[in-house]
């Protein structure tokens, strides 16, 4: 069975899994929301609306108000893939989000996760 490209995955189905990953390590949905809003430029109300709309990752990132230019400071590997080396911008942004949630789950302070 062929793997579905990340851009075609439902953001509203994946997002609860990101929240679960963080909550298993004692972090909160509010923190996951904060890193998502930091990355995309959505505010909390807009993020909630996007989750209700059942968008794909492509639609979610294409409609993002202002992708944070500091996202390029996110480095390292996620699922064995170097995030800086990903060529597809949608997949790269999805992996950036996953990496931010990973950093939260590993206990990194929210201010450092947000590159403050």
Instruction: Give 6-110's CATH code, choosing from 3.20.20.120, 1.10.8.290, 3.40.50.720, 1.10.260.40.
Output: 1.10.8.290
Full-model pTM: 0.92
pLDDT-derived band at 2 (thresholds 50, 70, 90) equals low
- pLDDT of 5 > 90? The answer is no
- 39-92 pLDDT, tens digit each: 999 999 999 999 999 899 999 999 999 999 999 999 998 888 899 999 999 999
**What residue ranges do the domains of the chain occupy?**
6-110
Torsion of CA 112, 23, 17, 13, to 10 degrees: -100
Would you say residue 1 has pLDDT above 70?
no
């Amino acid at each position: 069975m062929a793997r579905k490209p990340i851009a075609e995955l439902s953001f509203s189905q994946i997002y609860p899994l990101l929240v679960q990953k963080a909550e298993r390590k004692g972090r909160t949905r509010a923190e996951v929301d904060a890193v998502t809003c930091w990355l995309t430029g959505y505010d909390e109300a807009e993020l909630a609306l996007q989750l209700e709309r059942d968008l794909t990752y492509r639609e979610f990132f294409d409609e993002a108000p202002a992708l944070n230019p500091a996202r390029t400071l996110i480095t390292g590997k996620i699922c064995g893939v170097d995030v800086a080396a990903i060529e597809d911008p949608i997949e790269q942004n999805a992996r950036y989000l996953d990496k931010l949630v990973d950093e939260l789950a590993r206990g990194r302070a929210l201010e450092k996760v947000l590159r403050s």
